[in-house]
Chain A
Amino acid sequence: MKGRPEGLSAEVEARPVVLEVKDLTHFFGNLRAVHDFDMTLRQGELVGLIGPNGAGKTTVFNLVTGVYLPTEGSIRFHDVKLVGRPSHEIIQMGIARTFQNIRLFSNLTVLDNVRIAYHPHAGYTLVDSILHTSRFHEKETEMTERAQEFLDIFGLAERQGDIAGSLPYGLQRRLEIARALATDPQLLILDEPAAGMNPQEIDELLDLIIFIRDHFNLTVFLVEHQMRLVMNVCEWITVMDFGEVLARGKPAEVRGNPRVVEAYLGRQTVKIK
């Protein structure tokens, strides 16, 4: 099948397709950022996308979540066309994402950051909110409780009243993941979740990612530079360079692939004796 490596177990290949990206091409002016990119994710998979800086990884994410309109190609989520839909619709369909450089609502409280993500499921109308009807109070309490449950899972419940921008870096990352999960997704896209973390924090994040995948029954798609994370957590990996797919496979295969090593470290031009 297109967009998947060989040799995955038959059990995995039998699962339904969640995301199907076909022949995706995107130009920024004359610069070809992504070229004929294919990717097929099945239910419950944990897949990594790696590549040197500027390879087009984040662009792929932005194309999937509707930030950019692709020049060519198709993106389907549970067999529904995504190309041309606005971001908020795509998110409401069940795709959530985090950002490479954390983008929290930094002047709002931790609790509000999560509650904002619940807005599409608020369950009351504008009239209810202006009149503060009993329905408003009921749904608002429900929403708050659900948000607090989430914060509790991420160890942020005690800090619900803190201003998001004042949290330490590691917690801001966690809050961003909590906010993304609050949109009730089926597919979670993580853009460099371990950027700027120390090894111990990365180990915690690793456990967290596997935990949320199992706990919320998600498919996870992540971009990462930290090999420690990618190699330990991903079931298979796609390597990109200059907007094209260089290699695909299980972590161990990819690590040994000479083309991947070349992309990361450069070609050996001087023989060292």
Chain B
Amino acid sequence: MSILKRLKSSTGYFILGALLLFVVVQILLLPLVDGEPILNNFWRGLIFWGAAITMVTLGLNLIYGFNGQFSLGQYGFYAIGAYTSADVTYRWTHSDPSGLAVVLLGVLLTLLLYVLVSAFLRRLYGVTVTARFTIYLLATMLAFFVAVKLAAPVGALFVSVLGALPDSVTQQMVFFIALVGGGALAGIISFLFGLPVLELGSDYFGIATLGFTMIVKVLLDNTDTILPFPEMKGARGMVGIPQWTTWPWVFLTFMLVVLVMRNLLHSSSGRTILSVREDERAASLVGIDVANSKVLAFVVGSIFAGLAGGIRAHDLAFLHPQSFNFIQSYNPLIIVVLGGLGSMTGTIFTGFIWILLLEGALRLVLPPGFETWRFVVYPIILLLMMLLRPGGLFGKYEMPFLRRTLPPLRKKIVEEAVK
């Protein structure tokens, strides 16, 4: 009974719809007609790309649309996720397990140290942001120092454990760890970056995140000279990343992002995130730790970007720093404004439409010179949008599953009202 009842609710419809989408796309991707799938590599790439951009944009919507903090740094975290996970799988396929070991160990140790440090900091009072930041930074450095030192023995352990499994299983597990590692590293860096910078007002924060994207781009240009990662090949672009992204992976990651964001927003922490957007001063004067709430939204949003980076890297099999420059970082910003700030539904639909229509359909229809005109067309679309529908395509609309529902009044209150 209760299962039937749940199936008829908005949750049930959402699950059914998602499963249907999964099955349809999966069938279309199978080589059924003449050994060629209906969605060929071109369209497959676009769908995966659309999913990745939409995940980044959902993260940006959480930070900008729901929490009110203007971030231009999401492409930086997207790049961190992409390069981290690509490095892990690249090294693994070139029989070097150290990447896997360092990322996994480093992330786990960092999280452990963060838990200890935050428990310690809670006992103190009057700790400045700078001191807080320094302690966390030292903790992170310590964790990764230990991880690098332990890389060789732990790596050997991974090889013996994972090597015992069948190849296909090993590949999936390594890919899983790489994705999670990319997301987690993006999260850790966003935490360290956000801790001092989110103290600034929203506009200053925007400028600082723009700077962050530029720093990431410069570092990626010099991965083989400044940073010790020769396999990333700096400004020449990283090649030889295994093409492991499949539709089930894309679907699962995407659904995870949507569900986590939805559940977070529907909880008490989600309400504090909204309250900070509405009025920071008022939020802190009803007992909300505003800094905490901002960091939470920023870190979760950046983890989404990191995961999306991993998905994109293993579909493209090629990474170039130029695809993460700050001009590109306007893409999610345009999508989030176009779809409607503070609307998950708007972001999801607009993200896919943006990629499928502008990068896909129009490329087939319009003459080849179109690419040059793209950055004339985009701003015009945006301008028209601002004039005609300033709230975005979807405004504040949410599909029923994502909507914040109003709990019914308690029985007693209703009875009294009737009297």
Contact = CB atoms under 8 A, between A and B. Distances in A.
Interface of A: 65, 67, 84-89, 91-92, 96-97, 99, 103-109, 111-112, 115-120, 122, 124, 126, 128-132, 136, 140-141, 143-145, 148-149, 152, 157-158, 160-161, 179-180, 182-183
A116 B409 contact: no
B275 A105 contact: yes
Contacts of A122: 268-269
A96 to B, nearest CB: 8
A162 to B, nearest CB: 10
Contacts of B406: 109, 111, 160-161
B272 A116 contact: yes
5 contacts: A87-B285, A108-B271, A108-B274, A119-B288, A149-B413
A97 B285 contact: yes
Contacts, number: 123
A148 B285 contact: no
Contact of B286 (A109, A126, A132, A183): A183
Given A108-B275, A158-B417, A143 B282 contact: no
B177 interface: no
A130 B279 contact: no
Interface string B281-299: 1111111111000001000
A148 B413 contact: yes
Interface residues of B, number: 35
Q: Is the interface of A mostly helix, strand, loop or mixed?
A: helix
B381 interface: no
Contacts of B125: 84-85, 89
Interface stretch (B80-88, B204-212, B259-267, B356-364): B259-267
Given A103-B282, A144-B407, A129 B269 contact: yes
A88 B417 contact: no
A250 to B, nearest CB: 31
B270 interface: yes
Given A116-B272, A143-B268, A148-B413, A108 B285 contact: no
Contacts of B166: none
Nearest to A189: B285
A86 B291 CA distance: 11
A125 B266 CA distance: 13
Given A124-B267, A132-B263, A145-B410, 18 more contacts: A65-B285, A86-B289, A96-B286, A97-B285, A99-B285, A103-B285, A105-B274, A108-B275, A112-B404, A115-B268, A116-B274, A118-B268, A126-B264, A129-B264, A129-B267, A130-B263, A131-B263, A158-B409
